[in-house]
Chain A
């Protein structure tokens, strides 16, 4: 009996050590963001289009789905998590009245009235922000993406005044302490720079779809608006879609299917 207990204790000690080692091994694993560095071969597989656009099945975009897409986007691009008027927004949500103030939708259906619409930079065809930017830090690529060159931004905020959609945010302070989930592969920003959604230009370059589109499980359709056979054109052919603030005359590339 005595020797049995001794054996048991030995075995228990060894197993405990084993479990401890296994736990430690697990803790020492790569961090949650263990994506490998993209290689030159990845960049050769980049996606190309004449005019990138997005169609949103708004009925599928529940507040939970919205939050999921927002989190995916903000993690990918190191968007700081600041509450209040200094908030930095790349992907956010709002109700019908806020999203489509020019629709004057009195007596809306209950369901539409309470729906949360995902909002992001509209990547306009004639972007006001590009016209007003004095340093050409905001520019339009030939494929329609309205990009920001953070290196050139002097923080004058003309683009924020010009944008009819409030899609741009200004870094009033160093954003780094406010970044909760960090992606080392994408740069952060510094104080005094405006930022906005870039349609995941860095992901398109390595042949991947925007990260919100991946997270949305089909509720967001991304594709080439100039290609009649593309998924996005099919979605727009088959469903009624509206764009935000058409009277602003900027012709957004983001379509909301009601």
Chain B
């Protein structure tokens, strides 16, 4: 191989650079603790399932509620919930900053739900009390 003395150290340097974040974070435990509602024990689905799939669930809810007019969600326990982000999810999880944002900020996603949906069903004014940058950088 021509120029092996340059190419091989180059490849090694590149790999070291590429894997630096992996090595840097090795051993660190990744954990986010959103604040859960104190007066409620049950969510619409088990915690783990909500953690993994809440975005799919919300997407299904919006399609079923808006397009099919099917607005009641029945979970595995037979409990009935209204398919509504503000009126169902946010009436329990009243503080977006301590619930939604803690995860979303950590993993660096900025969903733009809040450009239209209200933060809670008790909200007094249409402007959500969050900084513009936090409300979805799209």
Interface residues of A (CB under 8 A from B): 31, 37-41, 43-44, 46, 78, 139, 141, 147, 149-151, 176-177, 179, 182, 184-185, 187-190, 201, 205
Interface presence of B122 (CB below 8 A): yes
Interface contact B82-A40, CB-CB below 8 Å: yes
- Are the CB atoms of A187 and B86 closer together than 8 Å? yes
- List chain B residues, Cβ under 8 A from A38: 82, 87
In Å, the complex CA distance between A170 and B86 comes to 24
The answer to whether A189 and B66 have CB atoms under 8 Å apart is: no
Q: How far is the CA of A38 from the CA of B88 in the complex (A)?
A: 9
> Which of B69, B112, B118, B123 is close to A205, meaning CB atoms less than 8 Å apart?
B69
Contacts of B87 in A (CB 8 A): 37-38, 185
**Residues of chain A with a CB closer than 8 A to B21's CB:** none
On whether the beta carbons of B66 and A147 are closer than 8 Å, the reply is: yes
Known contacts A78-B126, A182-B124; A43 and B82 CB within 8 A of each other: yes
Tell me, rounded to whole Å, the shortest Cβ–Cβ distance linking A161 to chain B.
23
B72 at the interface (CB under 8 A from A): yes
| A184/B112 contact (C-beta < 8 A), A147-B66, A149-B66, A151-B62 known | no
* A188: chain B residues within 8 A (beta carbon): 116, 118, 126
- For residue A187, which residues in chain B have a CB less than 8 angstroms away from its CB? 86, 116-118
Given A40, A46, A149, which contacts B80 in the complex, CB threshold below 8 Å? A40
When A43-B72, A43-B82, A187-B86 are in contact, do A182 and B66 touch as well, CB less than 8 Å? no
Interface size class of B (residues with CB under 8 A): 20 to 34
Of B62, B81, B118, most buried by chain A (CB within 10 Å of CB) is B118
B67 cross-chain contacts in A, Cβ below 8 A: 139, 147, 149
Distance (whole angstroms) from the CB of B38 to the closest CB of chain A: 19
Q: 7 shortest A-B CB distances, which residue pairs?
A: A40-B80, A190-B115, A184-B123, A179-B126, A176-B126, A187-B116, A37-B87
Q: Does B94 contact A (CB under 8 A)?
A: no
14 A–B contacts, CB within 8 A, in A order? A37-B87, A38-B87, A78-B126, A150-B116, A151-B62, A176-B127, A177-B127, A182-B125, A184-B86, A184-B123, A187-B86, A188-B126, A201-B69, A205-B69
Q: In the assembly, what is the distance between CA of A184 and CA of B91, in Å?
A: 11
A31 touches B124 (CB 8 A): yes
Please give, as numbers and ranges, the residues of chain B lying within 8 Å of A149 by CB-CB distance.
Answer: 62, 66-67
